[in-house]
Amino acid sequence: MYHLKLGAAALFAAAVSALLPAAAETTVLTNVTVIDGTGAAAMPNSAIVMTGGKITFVGPVAALKAPKDAKVEDMSGKFVMPGIIDAHVHIGMMHDVTQDEKYETPENVNTDLKQYAAYGVTTVQVLGTDKDFVLDLRNQQRKTRPTMARVFSAGQGAVINGGYGGLVGVTIPISTPEEGRKLVDEQAAKGVDFIKLWVDDERKTIPVKMPPAVSAAIIDEAHKKHLRAVAHIFYLDDAKELVREGIDGFGHMVRDQAVDAELLDMMKAKGVWMVSSTLSREMAYSLAIMPWLNDPFFTRGVTPGTLEALRGPAREKAVVLGPTRFPGLPYEKKVFWDMDRTVFQALENYQAMVKAGVNTGMGTDSGPNGRFPGFNAHEELQMEVMAGRSPMDAITSATSDNARWLGDKSIGSIEAGKWADLVVLEKNPLDDIRNTETIAAVYIAGNSVPTIWQTCRDRPASACTGGSSTAPPGMPY
């Protein structure tokens, strides 16, 4: 009996111990150049201390007082920037190049989030195509220290019946302002971070587009629920109408014509964000042959089936013939047709918004066909620089600016008290923004996670080549 009591006591003690917080481990990165994400000048000869997943010190190595039990990593010659935040993605919806809601499973979502992390994208905002389990995953992340990209979610977005947008089988189309308000109420009850709506007719290939009465009701109801609304748009006139209705941000750039002073002034006056200009999305649709098909930074992160399809005759046919019916879409999509003009228009409008002082974040619309989780974030940064921004400004747009849009003060910059979401680089991204590809390490909440240079998606590690120190200088245009 004594032995039984002793055994029960031991089990009880073990159970209590499991509930107690683990001792906070400390990791110190020394001899690095810190690019803190705020736009401040880079800080050479610096150290970063991470304890329990949070940054507890960042400053000169000379001022470092590391705890005795700390794990110290000498990273001489390396550069550290905050984890990248992608403010427009869709997760778990693809198998190779086929889009379908049946692929949005916890396993596939986790795989995508791990891939984002491998590319140094430590936070993503999913805009309107999430099943409810993604919100559960998000909630769990916020109670722990994640080892994959953090999630902000707009749940299921608003798509007009018969119109463009969403994910068939996940988003439920609406027809009236009343249905729009009901959708917002349902999403708010689930605890979404934002409300997403699609206002587009896919370059006039679809006869139905969300009318102002419906979009205005959605935006108004979102604000009543203390949520911000983000819209997918294409046309200048729709952008102006949505600003008048009170939209908080746009998930894409105006692409039908040049933005004018009226729109820019309206956006600035009302604090409307260009949340994600998705320049890399437009570039992907303008390229007959993707020039990165042999780039290890790209090939490591896509499935063999994806590579085969991108190199195959079906894509060549789409380039030549234009309108194509993609699996999972109930309408034909104009891919490549006149898209070179569209990407130029997007670049010019992005330049105009930056020059005018409109709030601009960074987002890619990666996840659907032709846009690749994590990889596109680096291409997006390069295109921002192509559009005239400095590398420092591009980094800031993808870190502290995006954190400001998300309303999260715990991420987005390398400062004491914030989560230790970090990307360690072999080369200086301020010298060349393409150096964000030279990823040596990634940390999320202080947890070291595999980088893309340690990843080979859906095949043995030996099937992939290339490394961070030998990374090519960006997209081989």
Residue-wise pLDDT tens digits, 325-364: 555 556 666 555 566 688 899 999 999 999 999 999 999 9
Strand bridging mode 439-444 / 84-89: unpaired
φ and ψ at residue 139, rounded to 5 degrees: -60, -40
Query: Tens digit of pLDDT for each residue in 303-319?
Result: 999 999 888 877 777 66
Beta bridge partners of 54: 51, 419
Q: What is the pLDDT of residue 185?
A: 98
Whether residue 377 has pLDDT greater than 50: yes
Q: What is the pLDDT of residue 203?
A: 86
Q: 110 is written with which tokens? A: 């986790």
What is the average pLDDT value for the chain, to the nearest integer?
Answer: 91
Distance CA 136, CA 275 (A): 24
- Collapsing DSSP to helix, strand or coil, 357 comes out as coil
Q: What is the pLDDT of residue 13?
A: 38
Distance CA 103, CA 312 (A): 23
Q: What is the pLDDT of residue 21?
A: 38
Query: Tens digit of pLDDT for each residue in 443-471?
Result: 999 999 999 999 999 999 899 998 887 65
**Percentage, residues of the chain above pLDDT 90:** 80
Q: What is the pLDDT of residue 283?
A: 87
Q: Which domains does the chain have, with CATH numbers?
A: 83-411 (3.20.20.140)
Q: What is the pLDDT of residue 315?
A: 72
Q: What is the pLDDT of residue 313?
A: 79
203/117: higher pLDDT: 117
Whether residue 4 has pLDDT greater than 50: no
| 364-369 mean pLDDT | 95
Query: Tens digit of pLDDT for each residue in 267-277?
Result: 999 999 999 99
pTM over 0.85: yes
DSSP state letter for 40:
P
Confidence of residue 14 (pLDDT cuts 50, 70, 90): very low
Confidence of residue 24 (pLDDT cuts 50, 70, 90): confident
Closest CA to 364 of 96, 119, 38: 119
Report CA 34 to chain centroid distance, whole Å: 22
Whether residue 9 has pLDDT greater than 60: no
DSSP state letter for 119:
T
| 50-74 mean pLDDT | 96
Confidence of residue 286 (pLDDT cuts 50, 70, 90): confident
From residue 137, how far is each of 148, 153, 245, 293, 403 by CA, in Å?
A: 11, 10, 33, 33, 20
